[in-house]
Structure 1
Amino acid sequence: MDDSHGDGAGNGGNGSRHGHWAIGKNGKRHWCFPGWLYGILFVVFDFCFLAILQWSVTQTTSGVDLVSTAGGIGEMIGKIGTGNWVFALNMLLIGLIYLTVLMIFNRFWIATGLMFVLSCIIATVEHLKIEVRYETVYPSDLNFISGGNGGEIASFMPDDGARVIIGMVIFMLVLVALCVFLNHIDGRHGSMIRFSGKSKALGAVIRLLLVVLPAGFVSMYTVDVGTTDSWAYGVSRGLGDIPSMWDSVYDAQRNGVVPSFIRAINPKVMDEPANYSEETMKEIAEKYSNVADTINESRSNTMTDSTVIAILSETFSDPENVPGVTLNEDPIPNIKQIMTETTSGKMLSSGYGGGTANLEYMELTGLSMANFDSSLTSPYQQLIPNASWTPTFNQMWGSADNSIAVHPYEASMYSRETDYVKFGFSKFYALSGGTDKIQYTDKIDSSPYVSDESAYKETLDQVKSTDNSQFIQLMTMQNHMPYNNWYEDNQFEVTSNDDGKSESEISNIETYAKGLSYTDEATKEFLDELDKIDKPITVIFYGDHLPGIYKTAGEDSANSIALHETDYFIWSNKASGQQGTKIADDAYTSPNFLMAEAAEQMDANVSPYLAFLTSLHSKVAAMEPPVVNTIQGWDRIPAGSTIYLDEDGKQVAYDDLDDETKQMLEDYKLIQYDITAGEGYLKNTDFLSLPDNAGTM
């Protein structure tokens, strides 16, 4: 701190210091704040900045709740007793930014006032976005503003936006006035590092170091924290930053606004393949264009002449496929019958008890989580917001009016509301949040979730609303955890317990089975209704992952694959002319291959990209990143080797694959890198285009 000669108040030496007092120009004596007091105030104000930011993400239906904010910060502090130092991580990061600003201006009260202004502005923007979209500010939002879209921000203003802004401006002015007052009574006027004479150079060096070192730490942390096993990743996780990627607001509440924002700035997507270049990508486009020509010689239909409905059925899977589980009654007899009559089988899922959006992402894009770096655990939050090019299969249907999404829950979950706009969907019907609301919201008995029957009614209305062919994405919620004995007259019982399941596990399984039986009945009725419609329709139906209730089976690592296999089928109605089709190599799949299988089911022409996926699926039935028998977390993809299954569902090591398959897997990485992290060379080719430009991604 300033121990220089002179008045210590930046008055050009017009006063003199007497102990901790200084005489100003007006002749009045002012007490000079000692260095130790600045240190205490620095920590106090650091905490205040944190409190303002956390205030912005702690909201109730009636707005921001100060009591809840205090409780949230108190919970952060309380976690220290359990070894979770996320509170310290927040204080450290904000404190380093504060120190950098302080040393740049070299005036305590100017820097503090500026930090209060910045904190209040950020908190206001955060609050307004959460109120409109229930979604925190992403780094990509800064790109939105810098891209010349600042004028559109007003369209995101909630009804009480003006009141919030006026209130925050008043609060901010009070804080600035406080800093002005304290600056007035402080005889040093917040002067920090000041040396004169021969010591002047030393003062400049110290000040420069106190700018460079904290700013450098924050910068390096920001660059590396999104990469698994980096030093910053280790620091962040070691201090208790546990990402909650499914809900950005909860993530910011739990881990802090600053850590949750910073870790989204520079996520590691993929390593660049060694031979990546524009020439390489043109060769790949040409290679699979020839494959597409060969496939299309025997195909007679155009995919986009049909309506495709992709149904992600929440946690749908046959309980009796889980080792040690036997029920007194089959909960899904109708779907099992459907599966015998059409393309169907087991789908390898990367998730267990969670990870829904990742399966959805793979189905919509044909890309695989197995190709991403282990640091990228949630493309919906880490990749899509910053992506300049987001090709998805629905875009082949042309106008955005032909792409509809339905989700009977919060639109903000997994940032779907934002991402689905980038995917090219014109409407996203959800239970809450967003602008498009679902009409059917019935629930079953005491279940908190909208029933599958209601979700199907919503989807059926969309199909009937136009004669045009469409792509409709439906994500159900009925069978989402928990399974708290929601249903009356539940006839399902677990009839074997040789492995010693707890009463809680048995109750969960039985409740889950009853929910499946409702899905089974509603799905049959839905398909029956689609069969009555006189336009070609194909349905892709799959369970995203198993529920995380099989604790006993999960204790045995030999059950890992079984706990990651859900059920799927691809069905076509009578008007399509493809009903009853059962394609070859359908026994096992993974979500990235579903659209290629649907094209084969429809006897439809394919793009070079779909031709590639068709060819790879004939070699590798299913592929996913390493799996674990615990509920899907968002720390990282588990360590280990990619899982490959053959057509019999047996795991195959990469080294045992033939050279052609290995080359295709290398091509896959090149394709995925170009689309997600590279230069987008394929965008300027016909790689994603259907024949005769029937549709492009």
Structure 2
Amino acid sequence: ISFYKFIISGEYLVPADLALAGEAASISKEMDITIERQVVIGVLVCLTIIISGFKCKWIEFRKGYRLAGSILCATLFFTTAVIGAKVCPREQGATSPKPSLTVNEKYNENGFIVGFTQEIIDLLVEEPEGYSKEKVESLLAPYTLGGSEEMDIKPNIIMIMSESFFDVTKLTEVTFSQDPLSFFRSCQNQLGKGNLSTAIYGGRTSQTEYEVLTGQSVYFTDPSNIAYNEFVHEDTPSLAKLLKAEGYQTMALHGYEKKFFSRDKAYPNLGLDTFIASEDFVAPDLARGYISDNTLVDHVVQLYEDKGEQPLFYHIVTMQNHMPYSDTYKTNGITVSGSDLSREQQDILETYANGLKDSDKALEKLVNYFSQVKEPTIIVMYGDHLPALDEQYSLYKDCHYIKGNFDAIDCSKLYETPLMVWNNYGLPSHDFGTIDTTYLSSQLLNYIGYHKDPYMNYLLDASKVLRGYGEYFDIDGTGQVQSPKARSAQEKEMLKNLWLIQYNRLGVE
């Protein structure tokens, strides 16, 4: 399992993946996975050894000896795993519980057993050094100003998290017969633009959702630890709850199954009162086997027209452009060329680019509709993560999008998705720059004139110190990419305090 996960996503199996067995089974049926010969040989050899161990009677051992031997072997195994995991290099201090080595580095250096056990240990959320409720209250106290300030306008808010959304024109050595994101780009240039720095690549979509909806980072609790399963409960603060307190109706719309990533349980706890998913659609239009973005947009329009007087908050998750990209999808006639592309890579990019064009058309349809609506409305569109277009980042390397050394610069490119913010009621154009996913809600609330929540106000100041942070790279206050090892004293202090506040909001004490 770890082998195939590495082939697809470039990452080894981690303990948190075991909780996603249902999600993996659901998605794997869409994928064309080739059984590798070396895996088959390895399995056959192991089975042969096991059967031989039962059948062959070279030496007769008493039952007691066999039991003692089994206990000894088990003890050695688990001792090696646990002690080995505990002595792995770890980052010390309260800034972050994260290990100093990445998952892949730990597995490569210490082997699967020790690496896997280390990840189990890392899933445990420990109380940060220096934590107290009083400390958290003192950190947030200066940010309570504006608590009674009313919003002048309460716009409808439509937030679209577009599956595997990436600006493929950044592959500068590849030529596309037409721009797949021409309308998205025009909206960016006219009104609101930027990029999101995400914690994930190629999968674990719900982690980005969690960060956007709560403003809390999975960096502190391990990006592989699915937050919807572990940290969302009825008291979890969220953007939707803040807006509900302002009189908003709150809805979620998703193009896949409700149980996927436990959204059916997480959404109500996040204050999303209505959840519509694939089970609720009757004969929807499909694209690549998934509910199309165009169908979701039609549903958004219908929900709006039936909404009544209250302003609406929509959280929308698309599915059309989900991996794999081995199918042939040429609906929009976009062709791709590049001197360093194989025929297979060219087909992958054409399938992906044509799917992006569908998303772009759906956005245009939505914007055109709300351009004619009198009620103030704001539309936000962003990506959850980059697509895993090919095995082990090979297409990104072959197109020279990354160098392949996976330093901070490489990773910043692999963990960045486009952001667009549009409105129909005269808000000024704004360049959000590249910001951490956890900052999006605070930036949006500030943009529309909401300043009541101390934590969201705190995040505005935090973003001036570090515009993005994570396991592989940081973005400093000036927008420059740097290694996490290069953090200044101010940046370390900000992260330490941010973790104290977020630990308090997790409610795991």
TM-score, normalised by the number of residues in structure 2: 0.72
The residue matched to 1:587 in structure 2 has which SS? strand
State the distance in 2 between where 1:392 and 1:507 align.
41
The answer to whether structure 1 residue 453 and structure 2 residue 294 are counterparts is: yes
Where do 5+ consecutive residues of structure 2 fail to align? 1-20, 27-38, 51-62, 87-97, 398-402
Q: Which residue matches 2:421?
A: 570
The answer to whether structure 1 residue 553 and structure 2 residue 396 are counterparts is: yes
State the distance in 1 between where 2:329 and 2:271 align.
38
Shift in Å, 1:474: 0.4
Residue 494 (structure 1) aligned to one of 329, 333, 336: 336
One-letter code aligned to 1:329: Q
The answer to whether structure 1 residue 418 and structure 2 residue 265 are counterparts is: yes
Shift in Å, 1:239: 6.7
Query: Per-residue displacement from partner, 1:245-293 (whole Å, max 9, x unpaired)?
Result: xxxxxxxxxxxxxx9xxx99x973533221101221221221322xx44
State the distance in 1 between where 2:168 and 2:355 align.
12
Residue 669 (structure 1) aligned to one of 488, 499, 509: 499
Shift in Å, 1:83: 8.3
One-letter code aligned to 1:301: M
Q: How does 1:73-152 map to 2 (within 5 A)?
A: 81=43
Q: Which residue matches 1:509?
A: 349
State the distance in 2 between where 1:534 and 1:417 align.
33
Shift in Å, 1:397: 2.6
The residue matched to 2:360 in structure 1 has which SS? helix
Structure 1 pair 530/269, CA: closer, same or farther in 2 (3 Å)? farther
Shift in Å, 1:519: 1.0
The residue matched to 1:479 in structure 2 has which SS? coil
Q: Which residue matches 1:392?
A: 238
Structure 1 pair 79/589, CA: closer, same or farther in 2 (3 Å)? farther
Residue 283 (structure 1) aligned to one of 116, 138, 155: 138
Shift in Å, 1:331: 1.1
State the distance in 2 between where 1:657 and 1:338 align.
35
Residue 591 (structure 1) aligned to one of 434, 437, 440: 437
The answer to whether structure 1 residue 468 and structure 2 residue 315 are counterparts is: no
Query: Per-residue displacement from partner, 1:642-688 (whole Å, max 9, x unpaired)?
Result: 5234444x213557656554433221110111122643xxxxxxxxx
Q: Which residue matches 1:621?
A: 467
The residue matched to 2:176 in structure 1 has which SS? coil
Structure 1 pair 442/551, CA: closer, same or farther in 2 (3 Å)? same
One-letter code aligned to 1:81: V
Structure 1 pair 483/656, CA: closer, same or farther in 2 (3 Å)? closer
Task: Give the conservation status (yes or no) of the 8 Å contact 1:312–1:476.
Answer: yes
Q: How does 1:147-226 map to 2 (within 5 A)?
A: none
Task: Give the conservation status (yes or no) of the 8 Å contact 2:332–2:357.
Answer: no
One-letter code aligned to 1:535: E
The residue matched to 2:430 in structure 1 has which SS? coil
Task: Give the conservation status (yes or no) of the 8 Å contact 1:380–1:414.
Answer: yes
One-letter code aligned to 2:43: G
State the distance in 2 between where 1:368 and 1:83 align.
44
Shift in Å, 1:603: 2.4
The answer to whether structure 1 residue 366 and structure 2 residue 209 are counterparts is: no
Q: Which residue matches 1:378?
A: 226
Shift in Å, 1:316: 1.4
State the distance in 2 between where 1:377 and 1:335 align.
32
Structure 1 pair 314/84, CA: closer, same or farther in 2 (3 Å)? farther
Query: Per-residue displacement from partner, 1:495-537 (whole Å, max 9, x unpaired)?
Result: 322xx32211111111111111111111011012123333222
Q: Which residue matches 2:157?
A: 308
- Structure label with greater radius of gyration: 1
Task: Give the conservation status (yes or no) of the 8 Å contact 1:402–1:470.
Answer: yes
Query: Per-residue displacement from partner, 1:547-589 (whole Å, max 9, x unpaired)?
Result: 1115232462363322222110122223xxxx352235x1211
Residue 482 (structure 2) aligned to one of 652, 664, 667: 652
The residue matched to 1:566 in structure 2 has which SS? strand
The residue matched to 2:336 in structure 1 has which SS? coil
Of structures 1 and 2, the one with the larger relative CO (CA 8 A, separation 6+) is: 2
Shift in Å, 1:306: 2.7
State the distance in 1 between where 2:368 and 2:332 align.
26
Shift in Å, 1:602: 1.0
Shift in Å, 1:363: 0.5
Q: Which residue matches 2:188?
A: 339
Task: Give the conservation status (yes or no) of the 8 Å contact 1:343–1:601.
Answer: no
Q: Which residue matches 2:166?
A: 317
State the distance in 2 between where 1:283 and 1:662 align.
18
Q: Which residue matches 2:179?
A: 330
Q: Across the two proteins, how many residue pairs are aligned to each other?
A: 427
The residue matched to 1:361 in structure 2 has which SS? helix
State the distance in 1 between where 2:505 and 2:377 align.
29
One-letter code aligned to 1:643: D
One-letter code aligned to 1:671: I
The residue matched to 1:280 in structure 2 has which SS? helix
Task: Give the conservation status (yes or no) of the 8 Å contact 1:380–1:416.
Answer: yes
Shift in Å, 1:460: 2.0
Q: Which residue matches 2:275?
A: 428
State the distance in 1 between where 2:350 and 2:458 align.
42
State the distance in 1 between where 2:260 and 2:115 align.
20
State the distance in 1 between where 2:276 and 2:173 align.
39
The residue matched to 2:458 in structure 1 has which SS? helix
Q: Which residue matches 1:254?
A: none
State the distance in 1 between where 2:45 and 2:341 align.
32
Identify the range of structure 1 (556-565 vs 394-403) with the bigger mean alpha-carbon deviation: 394-403
State the distance in 2 between where 1:470 and 1:269 align.
37
Q: Which residue matches 2:60?
A: none
Task: Give the conservation status (yes or no) of the 8 Å contact 1:322–1:562.
Answer: no
The residue matched to 1:311 in structure 2 has which SS? strand
Residue 522 (structure 1) aligned to one of 350, 353, 362: 362
Residue 474 (structure 2) aligned to one of 643, 650, 658: 643
One-letter code aligned to 1:487: Y
TM-score, normalised by the number of residues in structure 1: 0.54
Structure 1 pair 282/409, CA: closer, same or farther in 2 (3 Å)? same
Shift in Å, 1:542: 0.2
Q: How does 1:528-547 map to 2 (within 5 A)?
A: 528-547=368-387
State the distance in 1 between where 2:41 and 2:462 align.
48
Task: Give the conservation status (yes or no) of the 8 Å contact 2:254–2:278.
Answer: yes
The residue matched to 1:663 in structure 2 has which SS? helix
The residue matched to 1:457 in structure 2 has which SS? helix
Q: How does 1:290-301 map to 2 (within 5 A)?
A: 292-293=145-146, 301=151
State the distance in 1 between where 2:138 and 2:487 align.
23
Task: Give the conservation status (yes or no) of the 8 Å contact 1:624–1:644.
Answer: no
One-letter code aligned to 1:492: I
One-letter code aligned to 2:207: N
- Aligned-pair identity in percent equals 22
State the distance in 2 between where 1:442 and 1:453 align.
8
State the distance in 1 between where 2:282 and 2:372 align.
22
Structure 1 pair 449/241, CA: closer, same or farther in 2 (3 Å)? farther
State the distance in 2 between where 1:414 and 1:363 align.
16
Task: Give the conservation status (yes or no) of the 8 Å contact 2:123–2:225.
Answer: no
